[in-house]
């Protein structure tokens, strides 16, 4: 069985691209258009990995990662920030907040899925 990945992204084009790339590689995806919906979906669906934008309405990515990391069972779930924030220090800020990785937009379609798969156990990877 392959991983279920939750994509939390307010930009519909970015959300569609990430979803397409992951689904084409064999992953099941769930999508949320803002942080508060994403948090509810994460708690209900218990995905294997979460991809999250940082700047979103309702609840930003930093608030979302903080809310999830406060719960002990969410320390095992990889949280990947995919964001336009690419200034010096942005990666360090995201990692310090609780994200496992920081990927800047625009993503590179040819390498994106591999970047995500690096955070999945082999048993959940579509391409072993």
The yes-or-no verdict on residue 128 having pLDDT over 60 is no
Count how many domains the chain has: 1
Q: What is the domain extent for residue 24?
A: 4-118
Query: How confident is the model over 38-95, as pLDDT tens digits?
Result: 999 999 999 999 999 999 988 999 999 999 999 888 888 999 999 998 888 999 999 9
Q: Is residue 47 part of a domain?
A: yes
By CB atoms closer than 10 A (0-12, 13-18, 19+), residue 101 is middle
Residues paired with residue 51 on neighbouring β-strands, in sequence order: 7, 80
Q: Is residue 77 part of a domain?
A: yes
CA pair distance 5, 50, nearest whole angstrom: 6
Q: Is residue 74 part of a domain?
A: yes
Q: Is residue 102 part of a domain?
A: yes
């Amino acid at each position: 069985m392959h991983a279920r990945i939750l994509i939390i992204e307010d930009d519909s084009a970015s959300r569609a691209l990430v979803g397409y790339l992951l689904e084409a590689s064999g992953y099941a995806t769930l999508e949320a258009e803002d942080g508060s919906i994403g948090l509810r979906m994460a708690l209900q669906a218990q995905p294997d990995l979460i991809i999250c934008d940082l700047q979103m309405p309702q609840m930003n990515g930093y608030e979302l990662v903080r809310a999830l990391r406060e719960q002990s069972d969410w320390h095992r779930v990889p949280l990947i920030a995919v964001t336009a924030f690419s200034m010096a220090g942005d990666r360090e800020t995201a990692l310090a907040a609780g994200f496992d990785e920081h990927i800047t937009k625009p993503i590179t379609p040819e390498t994106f899925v591999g970047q995500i798969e690096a955070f999945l156990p082999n048993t959940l990877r579509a391409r072993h």
